[in-house]
């Protein structure tokens, strides 16, 4: 169920225990071969598939396409919310839903750069509502909800999500092939970090001239469809777990 | 031309003198008969019509649906960015485009509550870039771009835009009749302000129980189509003026 | 009645339903012929005239001369509060009076640049006090309170207020002729905006080399006296309406 | 010379080495017998006397009456800027003058509560302009500029400034006797701090029911006139030292 | 080498390519059996061991004990920096070292709650210095630098760090046994999260009454000594990699 | 008693009327002859001596070494918290202790640059808790607590604390002689301010090339020991006064 298509009396009459999904993504460079909208379009597709299946047992807010993408700002067209404003933005959206009485909220992310600030925002909000014991505030990036996808999808070379890569290009070939450029010409860009397991603060130009990271030339439409199925199944599974939460225990 | 469908090298190759349109709207209560998405859907339609006509002579960023709607927060489902964060949000989006070299930018608004903060954000940004003489930073709410609409559209009763009113309901009947509820049952709510010309700070519950302001029961699909044509024509006209700007004069 | 001349027990004993006027203006460049203090001096005069007439039926706070004038900062001597600080400043002053129990507050403005941030500040404050139904928070620029002034005052050429213009120069000739320089030598500067009805973010140097906008050379002392009478009458009328507010209705 | 009476070309033509005085005070409760305006009126008088003597060798900005008075907020009528906004306010005013090229700036204070934030604001600004070696940024409270006043003025009982006390009441008897209430009835309130030399964070109600601190009943007009002379002489002396600064040395 | 023991000319003469370690930890509740200082004491010990070995090839700043511990605030004695201030605090410390010319900086963390804000702070700083290509800004929590510790240390039951748990209690038994209370009486508290892999925003009382999480009763001094050796070896290894960085490549 | 060595149930069981000491200092340049840690080491020694004597009748939080030292930032190695963050930092630490129920709090400072912001932070906090009448929030710099030290200590030349001076060098010779460089070679640097009693905003390079201010070459270990005794006695005396506070009166 999409929140935005309801009128306010309809929202008022909903059970406040319904799982709420707040999708956040980005509009940022995706190399020479994918459009700026990629992250938002992919998350939008995954959420739509999940919502179609879940029907009235989930409430989905509009997708926030403005993301935390300052590391991509050197590439023309990238739209990126300043880091502190992004914290405020995510927290405010969740807070709106808390203000309306909803208690089980999943911020569902579709862009790697939103991971840290999204968690920071939820941390802050949980502390702000520290007297509340009935709030379930969750954050997940969609590909983390299908942790075995590299084994499940036939022929995948990449073991992890990268950027404008085999995975994302495959999915885009599925849902918007007209927007996909010459991905076969894209050279592989190794995603590794030489200082792992330390995390390194980076801008994209530290790592890639073209803007992509990974192996886009290995993309196929078939991989894309399987990935989309896996990821939307991951979302659906998480929403079921949220709906089934007994409201009392940390450990399920 | 939609920015989000381009890849970054395509953005890089654009003339930086192309008019940029940044649409901002809201997701907020629209009475008992219109969906929360109304403002965003209407602005989206108007921008799409204008873009179709203007083709490659305009660059449109994704529509920001998160608006300045705290006055509507008492009505369930309203999503509203806190006022200061909203200033940051609007300024940041424009600033992204300035950072990429674009110089002629129109923030095109579809929600009354964004009017003051949108202008404040542009004021702040202009001061920040005060050494720049080649920046054209404009703000307009779509219905202000068709100032004679009340005369042009046959049968209109309202002389001005209100909220979830004759005008908005008419347009929604055109583009999403399935989302329109029982507008015929909506009682008129006078839009006046007893202290005019002073402006009064308000929350919606000061003025309306149901959430709408104006005369929704007078809506018709035909009025809606004419309004949409007028408003998209207004946008098209403004974009032409921006494109024709000689870059030097305040007064054209 | 001036707040600042009272001792606190006298303030305590006032009815909290008395209309409160909070005057805000600016100290900023006014061309080659008018002093920096112009806006504050004019608003001060108008408020003083109104207060003399209204006597104990109005409570006036000290005039805040520090305004939102960053667009004039290129001209030496302009004092301007940074935009966000200005929002805080206006909101805080109103908030002080609300904290002391006053409920009917008019922020009375004497500088065009304060219009948007003044409304933004009142909006924010109204949302902060959203549970209060007895608060009347109003914002008005003094010349908007006499909307027919161009017809009422004999011989006026300008139809609207501009900057260091026919209107302001005329009033300054009335109350501080010694501070008025060679206004007859001032060339007309057209106030128009080529992108109207879109609003354009500007700095003064976009529009005027000398700093004035309008037709100062048409000023006369007689026009000035009539303008001051019209404007103070406008303020008096608004205060009467505030005093007569029945406290319950949006529409009077 | 008052900045506000000049037009901008006159400010432009001034030597940027002229001492600038920025007066800051307060509008806050002063007991049962003195008006809210006391601090601002006294500082205004002292500055006016100094300016009359110094003539064109000093540039005085308008007095900022909005002060840091949250400790007095329990007393009706007190107007007080929130602490962080006050830091911004003071820093911004000084920064305006630095932006216009002035280099020798004295923030002249007339309210005890402004002492700490005034110094904090100047500290912050000095760090911001840390590459500048030609900036002289000074802060002084007027009574600190006449450190021997308790010996110089005949009959003074108080050895230090307090609040709405012998000193302030005496000066108000001089310049605005009509605004002074029944000071003879005011009971002495000891100004001491039991934890001296530690400084204690307080609100006024910790220390005084009536709002005054000190011995107002000992005030006389004659003491007041002498105090005003001492304090204005103190300001004049400091301005002379600023004017004579050779611009190079910390130690004179 | 400890920064704090040097005088400034000694810092000036250092190679700016020396690896800098900035240790951050916490002072927060650690159950009934461990002192508030636990995280800071453990990280201090690990850093000291590493520094002893690395000698002049590392520069260590003082340990910041003030951490991001709002989730523990319900337990008396916890000291916790507000979330946004904590971002500023971490970023500022790193920024100080960048301002002094150092380029290879490892923020070394000893408290789980600092993980997200520490990364957020480094992200922000990297964007701020986005034109710098010679900056290596790393973040690591000490136990992540010895990823195989659960296999290397004989008899460990826990596979991961928890809170006031087998691992922390063991190490405290090694370095400050006098500060360890009755850990044998501590009941196991399962660390799991029912919504994994989604991350859940929590306060400690959601998960533990006593304040610890994990199996403290399994602690031994011998496990503690081995853990300390593993963790300090992990730090030493990372510093070597930083020192050997060729300065040009993302992938080593 | 050190807070950090306690577990949370021990803190819970403490009387909330125990005096709390929050030590704050700095890590900043101290000339060519003293280490960066000087202020923190000296305050740490003084607090430790006081705590040893006061035993369970005082509760001491960990020393915050991160100070307000932007004026020293030109000297390599100085670590300095940005001014506004420093206000937040100090206020937050005090606020943590207030949140845990403690009522008698002394922020004990060991660095001149913390004086103004420390007082500002306590002022802000007192206003925030303005309804509390049982809070005793004190700020003192350690050397102010022994106002007669210049007379008490044999042979002192300086009458006041300066920076890396006779006093500080003497104390460092006592407690960390290995960290003291060639202080005998340090030239005297006059501490005076040519504009006294006005306070001047400065950076250290305005006043000293080497970084010290005062007469370090006059330092002796014997003076140092006497100073430490005086200062720790001053702290002990103040803590006794806090403990004996009857909780009701401003004046003791």
> Residues F182-207: pLDDT tens digits?
999 999 999 988 899 999 999 999 89
Chain B residues lying within 8 Å of A179, measured CB to CB:
5
Give the SS3 label for residue F4: helix
Interface test mutation site (partner E, options A24, A127, A161, max chain E beta carbons within 10 A): A127
Which chains sit next to D, with 3 or more Cβ pairs under 8 A? C, F
Nearest residue of F to residue D142, measured between CA atoms: F198
**Any domain includes F249:** no
Nearest residue of E to residue A74, measured between CA atoms: E130
Residue B162, Cα to own-chain centre: how many angstroms?
13
C252 pLDDT exceeds 50?
Answer: no
Chain A residues lying within 8 Å of E212, measured CB to CB:
none
The reply to whether residue A4 touches residue B37, judged by beta carbons under 8 angstroms, is: yes
Predicted local distance difference test score (pLDDT) of residue F250: 67
Interface test mutation site (partner A, options E95, E198, E237, E247, max chain A beta carbons within 10 A): E198
Predicted local distance difference test score (pLDDT) of residue A252: 45
**Which pair of structure tokens corresponds to residue E57?**
């090839």
**Which pair of structure tokens corresponds to residue C177?**
């002729």
CB E188: neighbour CB atoms within 10 A?
17
**Any domain includes E250:** no
Among E21-25, E145-149, F9-13, the least confident range: E145-149
Q: Closest by alpha carbon to A67, among C205, D39, D131, E123?
A: E123
Which chains sit next to F, with 3 or more Cβ pairs under 8 A? D, E
Chain F residues lying within 8 Å of D136, measured CB to CB:
195, 200
Q: Closest by alpha carbon to D35, among D71, D68, D65, D70?
A: D65
C-alpha to C-alpha distance for B157 and F149, rounded to whole angstroms: 85
Kind of pairing between the strands at D136-141 and D59-60: unpaired
The reply to whether residue A241 touches residue E84, judged by beta carbons under 8 angstroms, is: no
F252 pLDDT exceeds 60?
Answer: no
Kind of pairing between the strands at D104-109 and D136-141: parallel
D27 phi and psi, to 5 degrees?
-125, 100
pLDDT tens readout for residues B111-157? 999 999 999 999 999 999 999 999 999 999 999 999 999 999 999 99
CATH number of the domain residue F205 falls in: 3.40.50.10310
The reply to whether residue A8 touches residue B36, judged by beta carbons under 8 angstroms, is: yes
Range of the domain at D240: 3-244
Residue B24 pLDDT level (bands cut at 50, 70, 90): very high
The reply to whether residue D192 touches residue F241, judged by beta carbons under 8 angstroms, is: no
Predicted local distance difference test score (pLDDT) of residue D251: 59
Residue B252 pLDDT level (bands cut at 50, 70, 90): very low
pLDDT tens readout for residues E24-58? 999 999 999 999 999 999 999 999 999 999 999 99
Q: Closest by alpha carbon to C235, among C93, C62, C64, C42?
A: C42
Which chains sit next to A, with 3 or more Cβ pairs under 8 A? B, E
Q: Is residue C211 within 8 Å of residue C30, measured between CB atoms?
A: yes
E192 phi and psi, to 5 degrees?
-65, 160
C250 pLDDT exceeds 90?
Answer: no
Q: Chains C, A in contact: 3+ Cβ pairs under 8 A? A: no
**Any domain includes E10:** yes
F87 pLDDT exceeds 90?
Answer: yes
The reply to whether residue D83 touches residue F138, judged by beta carbons under 8 angstroms, is: no
Classify the C-alpha dihedral A186-A190-A193-A199 as positive or negative: positive
Chain F residues lying within 8 Å of D139, measured CB to CB:
198-201
**Which pair of structure tokens corresponds to residue F123?**
């002022």
Between A119, A127, A250, which is nearest E194 by CB?
Answer: A250
**Any domain includes A138:** yes
Chain F residues lying within 8 Å of D120, measured CB to CB:
83, 87, 116-117, 120
Question: CA D95, E84, A111: angle at the middle one, nearest 5?
Answer: 110
The reply to whether residue B83 touches residue C123, judged by beta carbons under 8 angstroms, is: yes
The reply to whether residue F77 touches residue E6, judged by beta carbons under 8 angstroms, is: yes
Chain A residues lying within 8 Å of E203, measured CB to CB:
126-127, 130
Nearest residue of D to residue F207, measured between CA atoms: D250
The reply to whether residue F62 touches residue E62, judged by beta carbons under 8 angstroms, is: no
Chain F residues lying within 8 Å of E101, measured CB to CB:
76
Chain C residues lying within 8 Å of D31, measured CB to CB:
7-8
**Which pair of structure tokens corresponds to residue B147?**
């100032």
Q: Is residue E171 within 8 Å of residue E157, measured between CB atoms?
A: no
**pLDDT tens digit at each of 252 positions of chain A:** 999 999 999 999 999 999 999 999 999 999 999 999 999 999 999 999 999 999 999 999 999 999 999 999 999 999 999 999 999 999 999 999 999 999 999 999 999 999 999 999 999 999 999 999 899 999 999 999 998 999 999 999 999 999 999 999 999 999 999 999 999 999 999 998 889 999 999 999 989 999 999 999 999 999 999 999 999 999 999 999 999 998 876 664
Predicted local distance difference test score (pLDDT) of residue F192: 80
Predicted local distance difference test score (pLDDT) of residue D126: 97
The reply to whether residue C80 touches residue D96, judged by beta carbons under 8 angstroms, is: yes
D91 pLDDT exceeds 60?
Answer: yes
* d(CA B229, nearest CA chain A) in Å: 24
**Cis peptide leading into residue F151 (ω within 30°):** no
* d(CA B219, nearest CA chain C) in Å: 23
C-alpha to C-alpha distance for A108 and A145, rounded to whole angstroms: 10
Question: Which string of DSSP letters, residue by residue, matches chain C?
Answer: -BGGGS-HHHHHTS-TTS-EEEEE--B--BTTTB-TTHHHHHHHHHHHHHHHHHGGG-EEPPPB--B--GGGTTSTT-BB--HHHHHHHHHHHHHHHHHTT--EEEEEE--GGGHHHHHHHHHHHHHHTTT-SS-EEEEEEGGGGSTTHHHHSTT---SS--BSSHHHHHHHHHH-GGG---GGGPPPB----TTTTSEE---GGGT-SSS-BB-GGG--HHHHHHHHHHHHHHHHHHHHHHHH--SS-S--
Predicted local distance difference test score (pLDDT) of residue A42: 98
Chain F residues lying within 8 Å of E111, measured CB to CB:
none
Chain B residues lying within 8 Å of A181, measured CB to CB:
7
The reply to whether residue A130 touches residue E251, judged by beta carbons under 8 angstroms, is: no
C-alpha to C-alpha distance for C205 and C73, rounded to whole angstroms: 10
Q: Chains E, A in contact: 3+ Cβ pairs under 8 A? A: yes
The reply to whether residue C7 touches residue D101, judged by beta carbons under 8 angstroms, is: no
The reply to whether residue C207 touches residue B120, judged by beta carbons under 8 angstroms, is: no
Percent of chain E with pLDDT over 70: 98
C-alpha to C-alpha distance for B49 and F121, rounded to whole angstroms: 56
Residue E221, Cβ density class (10 Å: 0-12 exposed, 13-18 middle, ≥19 buried): middle
Q: Closest by alpha carbon to D64, among D96, D28, D22?
A: D22
Please report the number of interchain residue pairs, chain B to chain C, with beta-carbon separation below 8 angstroms: 151
The reply to whether residue F8 touches residue E211, judged by beta carbons under 8 angstroms, is: yes
Question: CA E48, E53, E54: angle at the middle one, nearest 5?
Answer: 95
Please report the number of interchain residue pairs, chain E to chain F, with beta-carbon separation below 8 angstroms: 154
Average pLDDT over residues D179-203: 94
Q: Closest by alpha carbon to E171, among E100, E212, E227?
A: E227
Give the SS3 label for residue E143: helix
C-alpha to C-alpha distance for C194 and B106, rounded to whole angstroms: 14
Whole-number average pLDDT of chain D? 96
Nearest residue of F to residue D145, measured between CA atoms: F197
Average pLDDT over residues D73-82: 98
**Any domain includes D249:** no
**Any domain includes B250:** no
Question: CA C124, C129, C132: angle at the middle one, nearest 5?
Answer: 140
Predicted local distance difference test score (pLDDT) of residue D252: 45
Chain E residues lying within 8 Å of A240, measured CB to CB:
none
Q: Chains F, A in contact: 3+ Cβ pairs under 8 A? A: no
Residues contacting residue B10 through CB under 8 Å, at least 6 positions apart: A77
How many structural domains is chain A composed of?
Answer: 1
Predicted local distance difference test score (pLDDT) of residue A194: 85
Question: CA B10, B12, B15: angle at the middle one, nearest 5?
Answer: 95
Quick check: pTM over 0.90? yes
Residue the block writes with tokens 């989730």: E71
Q: Closest by alpha carbon to F106, among F248, F240, F251?
A: F240
Between E7, E99, E101, which is nearest F73 by CB?
Answer: E99
Interface test mutation site (partner F, options E1, E3, E4, E13, max chain F beta carbons within 10 A): E4
**Which pair of structure tokens corresponds to residue C249?**
């209705």
Residue B227, Cα to own-chain centre: how many angstroms?
14
Element (H, E) at D39: helix D38-54
- Residue E186 DSSP class: P
Question: CA F25, F27, F28: angle at the middle one, nearest 5?
Answer: 115
Predicted local distance difference test score (pLDDT) of residue E250: 67
Chain E residues lying within 8 Å of F80, measured CB to CB:
92, 96
**Any domain includes E251:** no
The reply to whether residue A6 touches residue B75, judged by beta carbons under 8 angstroms, is: no
Predicted local distance difference test score (pLDDT) of residue C194: 85
**Which pair of structure tokens corresponds to residue A214?**
């990974």
The reply to whether residue A85 touches residue B81, judged by beta carbons under 8 angstroms, is: no
**Which pair of structure tokens corresponds to residue B16?**
């930086």
β-bridge mates for residue F199, sequence order: D139
B91 pLDDT exceeds 50?
Answer: yes
Residue D194 pLDDT level (bands cut at 50, 70, 90): confident
Q: What is the dihedral of CA A136, A142, A147, A151, to 10 degrees?
A: 160
The reply to whether residue E4 touches residue F32, judged by beta carbons under 8 angstroms, is: no
Alpha-helical regions (H) of chain E? 8-12, 38-54, 83-99, 115-128, 149-152, 166-175, 221-244
The reply to whether residue B200 touches residue C136, judged by beta carbons under 8 angstroms, is: yes
**Any domain includes F163:** yes
Predicted local distance difference test score (pLDDT) of residue D68: 98
The reply to whether residue F85 touches residue E85, judged by beta carbons under 8 angstroms, is: yes
Chain D residues lying within 8 Å of C125, measured CB to CB:
none
């Amino acid at each position: 169920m999409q929140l935005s298509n309801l009128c306010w009396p309809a929202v008022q009459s909903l059970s406040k225990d319904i799982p709420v999904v707040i999708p956040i993504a980005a509009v940022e460079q995706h190399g020479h071969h994918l459009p700026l909208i990629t992250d938002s379009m992919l998350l939008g597709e995954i959420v739509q598939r999940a919502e179609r299946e879940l029907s009235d047992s989930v409430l989905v807010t509009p997708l926030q396409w403005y993301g935390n993408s300052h590391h991509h700002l050197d590439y023309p067209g990238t739209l990126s919310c300043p880091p502190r404003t992004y914290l405020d933005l995510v927290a405010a959206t969740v807070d709106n839903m808390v203000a309306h009485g909803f208690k089980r909220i999943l911020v569902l992310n579709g862009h790697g750069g939103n991971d840290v600030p999204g968690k920071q925002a939820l941390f802050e909000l949980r502390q702000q509502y520290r007297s509340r014991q009935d709030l379930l505030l969750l954050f997940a990036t969609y590909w983390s909800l299908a942790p075995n996808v590299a084994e499940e999808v036939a022929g995948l070379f990449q073991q992890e999500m990268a950027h404008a890569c085999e995975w994302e290009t495959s999915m885009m070939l599925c849902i918007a092939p007209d927007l996909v450029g010459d991905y076969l010409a894209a050279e592989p860009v190794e995603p590794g970090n030489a200082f792992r397991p330390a995390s390194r603060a980076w801008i994209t130009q530290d790592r890639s001239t073209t803007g992509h990271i990974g192996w886009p030339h290995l993309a196929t439409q078939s991989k894309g469809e399987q990935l989309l199925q896996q990821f939307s199944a991951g979302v659906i599974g998480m929403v079921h777990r949220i709906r089934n939460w007994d409201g009392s225990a940390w450990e399920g």
